[in-house]
Amino acid sequence: MEIKLDRLSSYINDSAKPLLIAGPCSAESNEQMLATAIELKKTNTSVFRAGIWKPRTRPNSFEGVGTPALEWLKNVKEETGLKVITEVAKPKHVEQVLKYNIDMLWIGARTTGNPFAIQDIAESLRGVDIPVFVKNPLNADIDLWLGTIERFYNAGIKKIVAVHRGFFAYGSKKYRNIPQWQLPVELKRLVPGIPLICDPSHIAGDKMLVKEVSQTAMDLNFDGLMIETHIDPKNALSDQQQQLNPMELKELQDSLIIRNRNVTDKEVASSLKELRSQIDRLDDKLIDVLRERMHLAQLIGLDKKNNDITILQPERWRYILEDRTGKGIKEGLSNEFLILLLRAIHQESINIQMKVMNSKE
């Protein structure tokens, strides 16, 4: 389906680039909220964020203050002039958010993964003109992310923003949630007009990595950042390790390199055109090579069928993986890329041989 959304600039009237949404992981007290917001006014922050209801992995941890904290968000809005946003996970939350005239709402990763909950929230917003920020689901499932966007769009919401916060991966060491940048890039291809912002705090899980993730998002042409910022992170009731203080946020913001989105220099444009033409020619050759390789896989499949040999040959696959990655690494290609490529080629070879094996001819 074609999705036509309002431009981000039409409802967030701020010239600062990128859009910056900042504030604590959780609303803890009126004093904490106001103190953080006042300091954020000294930065280019446009929207103040804070969690009111906190869905936690396990019980008996801080799960948010709840509805009383909406009054604190309202105070931030009145005292500082910042727009305010919070997370909702069910229609009752929506009812309360609208009652307190909260400017925007976001859908958390856990909720995005539940189509039943999303449909209920979308219906509760039917006829309401409010921006909805949709975080990606915990799992790397782009259809769930897209489906959530479509459900809000079908309910009449035209101000939708996608938020990339990374994906859960068991045993991930560097990041709390691995970025898998190709997925938000693919979402942007599927929904060209959707604003896309990054939540580097939840990707990083460590404030020392927030700058690195933020810069990557800027280099990939994201529209903004949502960064957890607390007046006193060491004493925060949740996500202490990934929250910056306002001064650290200002330093990060000042250090970001914001690159040009469009090519204006004629010489650069000409050079890019020629280099891209060379890539096009190489891609044509690559497709020819892949076609030939899959033809050979088909012939191998016929031999296996005629001689009752299993499709998967573990020793052969192990040899290919080790041999090709070794050669590729020597040529400067990354191990991660080579493994992904070889696995995709191997899977397609298996698919072709399965068709041959199950053919009645």
Residues with Cβ < 8 Å from 51, sequence gap 6 or more? 24, 25, 26, 27, 64, 86, 87, 238
Question: Could you tell me if 43 and 246 are in contact, meaning their C-beta atoms sit under 8 angstroms apart?
Answer: yes
Question: Could you tell me if 234 and 199 are in contact, meaning their C-beta atoms sit under 8 angstroms apart?
Answer: no
Residues with Cβ < 8 Å from 62, sequence gap 6 or more? 26, 54, 56, 237, 238
CA distance 72 to 33: 7
Question: Could you tell me if 224 and 21 are in contact, meaning their C-beta atoms sit under 8 angstroms apart?
Answer: yes
Q: Where are the beta strands (DSSP E) in the chain?
A: 19-23, 47-49, 83-88, 104-107, 132-135, 160-164, 196-198, 224-228
Q: How many residues does the chain have?
A: 361
Q: Which of 110, 107, 87 lies closest to 97 in space, CA to CA? A: 87
Its pTM stands at: 0.87
Q: Which H or E run includes 254?
A: helix 246-255
For 33-53, give the DSSP string: HHHHHHHHTTTT--EEE-BSS
Given this model, what pLDDT does residue 325 score? 97
Tell me the average confidence (pLDDT) per consecutive run of 10 residues in the chain, 361 residues long.
90 78 96 97 95 76 85 97 97 96 97 97 97 97 97 97 94 89 96 96 97 97 97 94 97 94 90 96 98 97 95 95 97 95 97 93 71
Q: Which H or E run includes 72?
A: helix 68-80
Q: Where are the beta strands (DSSP E) in 89-198?
A: 104-107, 132-135, 160-164, 196-198
Q: Which amino acid, residue 105?
A: L
Answer whether 8-255 and 266-358 agree in fold.
no
Which CATH number is 266-358 given?
1.20.59.10
Q: What does the domain layout of the chain look like in residue ranges? A: 8-255, 266-358
**For the CA atoms of 119, 123, 126, 132, what is the dihedral angle to 10 degrees?**
-40
Question: Could you tell me if 120 and 93 are in contact, meaning their C-beta atoms sit under 8 angstroms apart?
Answer: no
Which CATH number is 8-255 given?
3.20.20.70
